Amino acid sequence: MAVEKTLLIICDGMPDSEDEDGNTPLSTAYHPGLDFLAKNGLVGRLDLKYEKSADTDQGVLKILGCYDDSYPGRGYIEALSTDLEARKGDVCFRANFATLNGDGMLIDRRAGRDETGLEELAKKLDGIEINNIRFSVRRAVGHRLVIVMRRLDGKPLSWNIEGNDPKKTGVAVKQVAAKTRNGRITASALNKFLRRVNKILEEHPVNKKRKIPANTVLIRNIGHPTKTESFESRYNKKACVIGYHSTIEGVAKFLGMDFVKPSGATGQEDTDLHEKANAALETLQKYDFVLLHVNAFDMLSHDKKRDEKTAFIERFDQLVVRKILDNINLNKIVIAVTSDHYSNSLTKDYAHSTEPVPFVVCGAGIKSSGCEKYDEKNAVKFGTCKNLIEFLV
């Protein structure tokens, strides 16, 4: 049966690891809205077929059924959220402002999440030329940057390189390395650029004022310009994405979906959930398919704020899920809730993990699984799905 209207809510990094008592923030939180969906809908786990690592852009694309080989890399997805026009042959990077101590050790991968002066610093780095290669730089969300490399002679650059992000603190930042022989030109120029960046940032007046200096740049994800079939062409649905995060905006533009950034959205714990819910209800009047992305679950996991994550789940349930349920007709709309990956709030290392994520689908034409509560353990009981989009379009 074809679905007329769909609301897909992606809770970034909401599933979490169990504590010593077997509890997670999701299992501990009071969330009658999510439980209503579970009692009346289809519950299970979604296998996103991650290989080595899990991340938001790949997760969201896979939730939307994009398992083809047109994935351009996170760097290009991020570049699409800026005014940079990446061309064929360019290489694009998602990067962080970060902090080195006096001994050259990495002490903060996000420069304290302090956004003071970061726009000015990004502008200072924009337009640097090395070895006939121009580096275009834009500040993205929070502590993040987008960098696009372009050869001025028009020849293509290889993106077969590895970034310099060690994904942990207390260590030296490594050099960018070529994965293949043809990546050597890219890696060499990028390392020269980063050395110049460190000198510029160390001497910049902004960093004299900051409590935690933004005195280095970590190259995290790489990408290159690629085209793919639009969401509307794939599914014959007019679609819209609601969010704040630059990654989500990039995914929307990659798939030709409209993007709405609600007022008060921050991507953090203080994001305006009222406005997110309002935006979802408004866009459902105009679009066949609406994706609402909520990011703060993941940020709280990265900051190891487990209690705050539990509290945010409760606020999300009250201000988004229950508000939406009070204002839609489930006989005419399908609503789904899932996540792009697990995000571990207990580990000291990088938080994302690759196991299948919980999901629930409720509404027009969907039969109940008989689940009483929405959480990680209950989702396991009802099996694993490999293609959620078939229930949504």
Q: Is the pTM of this model over 0.75?
A: yes
Residues 213-238 pLDDT 10s = 999 999 999 999 999 999 999 999 99
Q: Which helix (H) or strand (E) holds 362?
A: strand 357-363
Confidence (pLDDT) at 118: 97
How far apart are alpha carbons 252 and 43 in whole angstroms?
26
Helices (DSSP H) in the chain: which residue ranges? Answer: 25-28, 32-40, 56-63, 74-79, 118-125, 184-203, 205-209, 231-235, 246-254, 273-284, 296-302, 306-316, 322-325, 376-380
How far apart are alpha carbons 167 and 241 in whole angstroms?
29
Let me know if 269 is exposed, middle or buried by CB neighbors in 10 A (0-12, 13-18, 19+). middle
Which segments in the chain show pLDDT lower than 70?
1-2, 350
Confidence (pLDDT) at 2: 61
Spans of all domains in the chain = 5-70+227-391, 78-223
How far apart are alpha carbons 78 and 207 in whole angstroms?
25
Residues 67-125 pLDDT 10s = 877 899 999 999 999 999 999 999 999 999 999 999 999 999 999 999 999 999 999 99
C-alpha torsion sign, points 116, 120, 121, 126: positive
What is the fold, at CATH topology level, of the domain defined by 5-70+227-391?
Alkaline Phosphatase, subunit A (3.40.720)
Confidence (pLDDT) at 355: 94
How far apart are alpha carbons 338 and 118 in whole angstroms?
33
Confidence (pLDDT) at 4: 84
Confidence (pLDDT) at 388: 95
3-state secondary structure 4-36: CEEEEEEECCCCCCCCCCCCCHHHHCCCHHHHH
**Directed axis angle between helix 118-125 and helix 184-203, to 10°?**
130
Confidence (pLDDT) at 361: 97
Confidence (pLDDT) at 347: 84
